[in-house]
Every structure is written in structure tokens, then in C-alpha cells.
A and B are shown apart, each in its own frame.
Chain A
Amino acid sequence: MNSETCFHCALPIPSGCNLTVDIEGERRPVCCPGCKAVAELIRDTGLSRYYELRDLPDPGVGRPPEEAAEWSVFDGDDMLAAFTEASGDNREATIYVGGMYCSACSWLIETTMSKQPGIESAEINPITHRLRLTFPAEGASLSAYLARLADLGYQPQPLSPESTARPEVVEQRTALKRLLVASLGMMQVMMFAVGLYAMDYQGIDPDMQHFLRLVSFFVTTPVVFYSAKPFFTSAWRGVVGKKPGMDLPVSIAVGAAYAASVYATFTRGEAVWFDSVTMFVFFLTLGRFLEMRARHRSIDRSAALSSLLPNTATRLDETAHSVVPVSQLRKDDRVLIRAGEPIPADGLLASGSTSVDEALLTGEPRPQAKAVGDELSAGSVNLDGMIEMTVTQTGSDTTLGTISILSERARYARPAFVTLADRIASYIVVALLVVATGVATFWYFADPDRAFVITLSVLVVTCPCALALATPAAFAAAGSRMSQLRLLVTNGNAIEALSRATLAMFDKTGTLTNGMPRITSVLVVDNNFTEMDCRLVAAALEHASTHPLARAFAMQDELPSVTSHEVVVGQGIKGIIDGNEWRIGSAAFVGGAAGPSEEIATHVLLGVDGSVVAWFALEDELRHDAGETLREVRRLGLRTALVSGDNQLAVDEVAAKLEITDAHAECTPEDKLAIIKAAQERGERVVMIGDGINDAPVLAGADTSIAPAHGALLAQTSADVIMLGESLEPMTTAIAMSRKTMRIVRQNLAWAIVYNAVALPLAAAGYVPPWAAAIGMSASSLIVVLNALRLNRFE
């Protein structure tokens, strides 16, 4: 398949397309003029290295560039005020860049933008996808920069300054500061500790010892109260919520060691443990920092949802209409929406009538008719007429905004598996505290001088951090790697369920097939008409229909006009053209024989005044990699099955091509659910692969579910894993990856348990000094995190 995919976007090249681009001295095939233009732009600016650096071909890059004219509205003075900030003689704009996926994208964008006339600096944050441009207040044009980004194939969206502070950025900044304070503090205190230890052997001036301890105290204090603050607050939250977490023993150890050291310092006591405290805090902070980074990487590009909204809208004022950025729309504004434009906000249809495509919101692929007074939702597309709308909700208050917030929340929800690990960890914490008290009591009677040190070591060395980190670290790393491999995991339980799946059940339409039927042949039986006549008549009749098959008939040509148009549900359509009654639909409806051939799965008859004129054979093509993917799924040891609402013939044909023996046709969603339940009762673990458009409960009924990412976003939220792009192949990656993830989780858990089993008796027996305990505990956590990060190199 590789030789036939686009060099730029990796989508399959349609047959008959001979476009190529010369890059690095070779002719590379591309799939469409859009990709050709983008690839040439990248080459001509000397940035061909983008192709070597990128992780994977970007589905976003290569979309046809948007109209340049759209951007010009961002040049007005009030727009500049709304979307940029003044800084000295320059202005700064923050732009959300939709469609970027890897570091190569950020390199491409930064390099291209910094070469634009007037640009002082261009910095992009690959985590938040925000580009910060600095340019002179005079003489530069924001719209030219936006147009340039759009030319590269990205979807730029200027942000108003107040919306630019992202929680991830704030969290990362704070974590970095805490980490730095802990690391510098640790190094300093360690240096003084070497002095103190050395002088223990060589004899030390008591004043100097006191001074070094005071200095250590001085440096350790911010480490404890600033760097370790999250541990104390989280431990306290655990105590209040009666769910002690792993932060409790950590906090007790840090707090007790610090307090004892402070006491020893000011009473000139025996020993201080400032070095152990700072080291412990440093390693803990480092572990948390790595975990946070893995988590941030896996934050989905749900912000990309907002880039589905148009950038601008046409607002109707008393006298004129003006193009304004969508963010400036207010309730009760009237906006004009032309045919083909996305609807910029929620609102009520004020004048005109049209049909809209709401697939994005409801998963319903059929156009919905709308009349005056009907509700329109942001993000749906106005298909037919020019309409006026009164805005009721804007921005994040719209249905689309709510969905994006919901799916973001789902992504932050913790999978049951992790919650279970947390619960186990909290029992272990309680057990540990009991053991530590036991050890302290024993040593208090056996050797009171060493009781504190040994108890401290027990607390530190057995901290169940590794245990608690084992699962979430692996899941976070797997999620991040999977999103790089074009898989979005919306439900953490999916990874576990997927690793155990034994039966892959596929939906047909839109999953194994492209979901877009085509006319494969036209058989004209009435010699008075040409094939073209038939197609035109059919297109005219089907124009009003919302049946999925109707889309196959759509034509660009001028259509004959139809009167007395009538859609007979489940049968077909009739209408009068030039005085004759034409019918299109099933054989019974049109009044003809069953069909010219039994081989054709789906056919539609066209007739005039009761006699048959033509047969249309329709076919929904298989996805290009369906066969390959099914073989791979079987190689992974899963059985395959097919359930479909389509007729027996169509299902049999697909099943035969894909060698699926277990195929069920003409299923209602209830049938599908029953088939899944029956399989589950046989002991199968079912992964359902379907777009979920009409069968969200079916997806939910399976052990786990995967949905291809075309169109229906709301349907996707009920799927556990979403595949981006046009191919099915990522699902095999998802299965392999989930198995690997569970293997790593098991390794991590095994390691954590073995470590604690060995370390606890040693520490309780008094063989482990606090500093060694801190190293041991930290090393065990770091090993767990690093082991999990191996998932980032999967495949």
C-alpha cells in the first residue's frame, strides 16, 4: 500500500491521479492539488527536512487552504486590540494552531513564521499548540500571518489574550520551580553534609558543626515548605477524606525527619537528617515531574474541537453586514450564513429554510430540514439555502462547547483499574503505619537511641510510591504513545479490556466500508433514454431525500425540475417531470422485476409511468486496508465477526471478501446487542468496532469499543478508543499496544512488591540508614516510571 499513498498526507492516492512533487531530487506522488501545493510550499521555503523529522504524516496538513479573504477581518484596529497585546513597540498575538501533531510540525511552523516579513519572534508550544507571534505594531499584517499558516495546511485561530493561560502550562511551571528548588537545595545540603560526616571522623569544632547545621536548616526549609508542599496538602486531603494515600507516609517521614533535625540543630543534639530530607523530596518531586510530563503529553487535542467552528461570521446590523470574528458574537446578534458555511453559534433560524448537516453533534449523517424558529447548533453545516439566524448561545455555552468540555472531563477521569490500585495502596499505607509503629515500639525498648532513625528508614524505604505509580505511569505513557499513533483513548479501562479481547466484532457500513455508496453501473433498458438522462432524473428525484443511498446520486449538473415531489418512506421517491410520473426506489414501488442480476447487493430501479427505465447498481466500497487489518487481527489471536443492519446479500459479499464466517445481516441495534451478550456468555471478551452512529448502546454493551473518527463526534464519546484518519489499521496497533501496556503494568507491580518485601525487613532490622532508604525508595519509583516510559518507543 505504501507505494500508493500520498507523500505528504499518507492517504491513499485515488486511481487516475498522477500528481507528483520533486522533493530532495525525487518525484514523490501526492493525492490531491492541496497536498501538492502544501508540499511545494514547504520545499520552496527550503524546509524539506520537515519530511524527515515528522513522526507521522499529518492528517491535518494538506487540507485545501481556506480562502485568503477570510483573514483580512483580523486587520482592523478593533480586531488587533481584541486579539493582540501591546509590548513596547511590538504587538503579540497568540494563535491556536489546529492540525499539528509532532515536533516536526512545530519546527516547520516556527521556521516558516520567523521568516515572514516583520516577525520579531515566533514561538510555538507543542503541548498546548499555541503560537506566540511578536511583530511590529505598525506595518505588519496579522491576516498575512494567518493566511500563511493556513497555506501550510494548519488551522490557525487567533485567541483573545485572556484565554491563553492553560492549566497545563501553569502546572508545568510550578512543578519546574519546585523541582529546581529541591535539586539545588539537595546539592547544597549534601555538600554541607559531606563536611559534617568528614568532620565526625576528624573531629570538628562544635561552633562550625552548629554553623553547618544552621546553614543546612536554612536551605532545607524552602525545600520542605515549597517543594514538598503538594505532598503535605495531598496527604492532608487523604486524611480528611479518610482515604490515606501514599503521600501520607511520605509526609510523615519528611515532616518527622525535618522536625527532629530542627530540634537537634537548636538543642545541639546528636544528629541531623537534612541531607536525607532534601534527597527524598528531590527524588519524589522528580518522579512526580516525569509522571506529569507523561500525563500532559496524553492530553488530547480536544481544544481542536473548537477549531471546527469558523473563525468569522457575517453579522447583520441595521444598515449593513460586517464580517466579525466569531468570538465577538453576542446573544441576539443576527448572523447571515451562506450555503456550505458552518454555523458559528447556537441560535434560532430567523429567516429562510435549509437543511443542515449535524453529523458532528448527533452522529446523524442525514441532512436535517430546518424551518423558521428551529434551533441551529454551532458546528453543524448549512447545506442548502442562505439563512439568517438569531444567536442564543456562543462559545463554550453552545452544544458543541459543552460536548468538548464533557469529553475533556472524560479524559481526566481515572480508570477503574487505577482507582483500584489507589485503594489497594491506601490499605498498604495503613498497614505500613501499623508496621512502623510496631517497629518504633520494639526499638524503643530494645535500643531507644536508634528507635527514631530506624522508624524513619522504615517509613521512607517502604513508601508505596512505586506501587501506586506502577499503573498510572504505564497508562499515561501508553495513552500518549497511542495518540501519536493516531489513536485516542477516551476511557482508561479500554487498555485493560482491549488486551484481553478475544472477539473483534465489526460493524459494516462506515467501518469496514467507507460509508459512501457509489453508483457502480447503470443498466438502461428503455432505449428512449440515455444513461445521462437517467442519472439526471435520478439525481433530481433523490435531491430531496435524506436516505443514505441518496448521496450516491448527487450530481453537480443542472437538474430537471420536479413537481409533486413525494418521498414514500421505505419505498422510494416519486415526482412529476415534464408531465410524466417518475419513480425511483425498490422494485415493488417502481413496478418492475426484481433486478437484472442477483449478484448485485444493492440496486435501485428508475421507472416512468409504471415501466422500468433503468437499474442502478450501488456499492459501498471496502476501506482500502480492511482485508489487511482483519488478517492482522486474526494473527493477534482474535476471532472476527460481522454484524450489520444491511441486507443479507450485501453482508455476505463483504463477509466473503474479508473471510469472515460469523456474519449477521439485517440486525437492529437490539439484535446486535443480543449477539454481543450471547458471545459474552460463551466467555468471549468482545471488542466492538463501529462508528456508533445508530448503535451507541451496542458500543457500550461490548467489553470495549473502537470507533473510526469520521464525522460523528458525539458517537465517538461512547467509544473507548477513537481511530483518527481514514484507515482501520490503527486498531491492530491498539490491541498490540494494550497488551504491551498490561505487560509493563505487571512488571511494575511485581517489581514494587518484591522491592518492598525485601526492603521492609532490612529496614526494620536496622540495616538501612535514612539516606540509603531515600535512595532505595526513589530508585524503585524511578525504575517504575522509566519502565513505563519504554511504551513511548512502541513500534
Chain B
Amino acid sequence: MSILYVLIPLALLLLGLAVWAFFWAVGSGQFDDLDTPAMRIVMDDDKKPEADEE
């Protein structure tokens, strides 16, 4: 079981990394919009224009 003395601190290190990454992501504004990304997945890419492009 003494491997836990290594593995748990390692897990904590990864945890710290995850928290740091998330803080960075929040700080850079990636989580400011929590509504549209959820809808984006169900939207098709644009349809072919019916008229000629300008």
C-alpha cells in the first residue's frame, strides 16, 4: 500500500494542474457564454445560399 504515498501526491499534482488550467480558461473568457455553445452542436452548418452570393 505504500505506493499510495507516491500516487496520492501525484494525483494532487494533477488536480492542481487541472485547477490551474480551468482558472486560465475562465480568465480568458472561454466560460463567459454558457448558453450558445450548448445550442451550437444542434445547429447545421450554413445551408447553401439560395440566391447567388454577392
Contacts and interface: CB of A to CB of B under 8 A. Distances in A.
A107 B36 contact: yes
Contact of A176 (B31, B36, B53): B31
Contact of A49 (B1, B8, B44): B44
Interface in B19-53: 19, 22-23, 26-27, 29, 31-36, 39-40, 43-44, 46-51, 53
Interface residues of A, number: 40
B48 to A, nearest CB: 6
B26 A176 contact: yes
B33 to A, nearest CB: 5
Interface string A290-328: 000100000000000000000000000000000000000
A630 to B, nearest CB: 36
A111 interface: yes
Contact of A53 (B43, B46, B51): B43
A215 B12 contact: yes
Contact of B19 (A44, A184, A212): A184
A123 B8 CA distance: 40
A46 B39 contact: no
Contacts of A22: 50
Contacts of B12: 188, 215, 218-219
| A contact patch SS | helix
Contacts of A40: 51
B22 A180 contact: yes
Interface string B1-26: 10011001001100100110011001
Contacts of A444: none
Contacts of A169: 29, 32
B15 to A, nearest CB: 6
B47 A177 contact: no
A208 B1 contact: yes
Contact of A107 (B19, B39, B53): B39
Nearest to A23: B50
Given A176-B26, A184-B18, A127 B33 contact: yes
B29 to A, nearest CB: 8
A172 B33 CA distance: 10
Interface in A172-223: 172-173, 176-177, 180-181, 184, 188, 192, 205, 208, 211-212, 215, 218-219
Interface of A: 22, 40, 43-49, 53, 103, 106-107, 110-111, 123-128, 132, 169, 172-173, 176-177, 180-181, 184, 188, 192, 205, 208, 211-212, 215, 218-219, 293
Given A44-B53, A126-B36, 17 more contacts: A40-B51, A43-B51, A44-B49, A47-B46, A49-B47, A107-B39, A124-B36, A127-B33, A172-B32, A173-B26, A176-B31, A184-B15, A205-B1, A211-B5, A215-B12, A218-B12, A219-B12
